[in-house]
């Protein structure tokens, strides 16, 4: 099975999203080839949630079984919730969506024992990447790929349950994937 992750920022989000999605499929005991969309290069949520852009990506990747559109919720200030629901409705048999609360980078913070603030504060902040994640990565040395994201995600192996418990949208994504897989079997 081929799965293609569509992020709003391939350059940085790939280092967080790919290991999480790989682990989701491993937890579901389903082998899959997981890739992150190489092109077109999306620049932000407005492009990632654009109906023509998503239609073109689905059309141009006919060998892909499942597309995962994973974008930041960003406090829903740009109506990401309704836009994502619309994209999923346009491609119901091929596309599953997930909104990271409030940004994908919070998922890497969820793995850490030493948070820069309470988890509730981090989750409720509309710009946690700038406020919490970037200083967190800088303190750890952000010279590795993805400005430190790849190194931070190495903690995923031993902290999967913590990630899922702190970020319920990941469990919701897993449930949607399991339902999609079940529907394909019938």
79-93: per-residue pLDDT in tens? 999 999 999 999 999
Q: According to the model, what pLDDT value does residue 143 have?
A: 83
Instruction: Output phi, psi for 13, to 5 deg.
Output: -65, -25
Q: How far apart are the first and last CA of the chain?
A: 16
Domain range holding 98?
2-181
Number of structural domains the chain divides into: 1
20 inside domain: yes
Q: Residue 110 CA to chain centroid, in angstroms?
A: 13
12 inside domain: yes
Q: How far apart are CA 102 and CA 157, in angstroms?
A: 23
110-153: per-residue pLDDT in tens? 999 999 999 999 999 999 999 999 999 999 887 889 999 999 99
73 inside domain: yes
58 inside domain: yes
Task: Give the CA distances from residue 62 to residues 3, 32, 41, 58, in Å, rounded to whole numbers and listed in that order.
Answer: 11, 16, 19, 7
186 inside domain: no
171 inside domain: yes
102 inside domain: yes
Longest dimension (CA), the chain: 50
């Amino acid at each position: 099975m081929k799965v293609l992750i569509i992020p709003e920022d391939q350059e940085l989000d790939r280092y967080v999203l790919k290991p999480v999605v790989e682990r989701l499929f491993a937890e579901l005991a389903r082998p899959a080839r997981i890739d992150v969309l190489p092109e077109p290069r999306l620049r932000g949520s407005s492009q990632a949630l654009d109906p023509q852009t998503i239609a073109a990506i689905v059309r141009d990747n006919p060998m892909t079984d499942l597309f995962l559109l994973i974008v930041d919720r960003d406090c829903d200030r740009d109506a990401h919730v309704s836009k994502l629901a619309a994209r999923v409705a346009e491609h119901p048999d091929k596309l599953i969506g997930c909104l990271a609360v409030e940004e994908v980078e919070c998922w890497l913070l969820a793995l850490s024992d030493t948070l820069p603030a309470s988890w509730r504060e981090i989750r409720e902040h509309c710009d946690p990447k700038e406020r919490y994640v970037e200083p967190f990565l800088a303190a750890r040395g952000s010279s590795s790929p993805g400005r430190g994201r790849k190194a931070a995600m190495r903690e995923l192996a031993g902290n999967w349950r913590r990630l899922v418990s702190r970020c319920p949208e990941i469990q919701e994504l897993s449930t949607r994937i399991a339902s999609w897989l079940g529907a394909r079997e019938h």
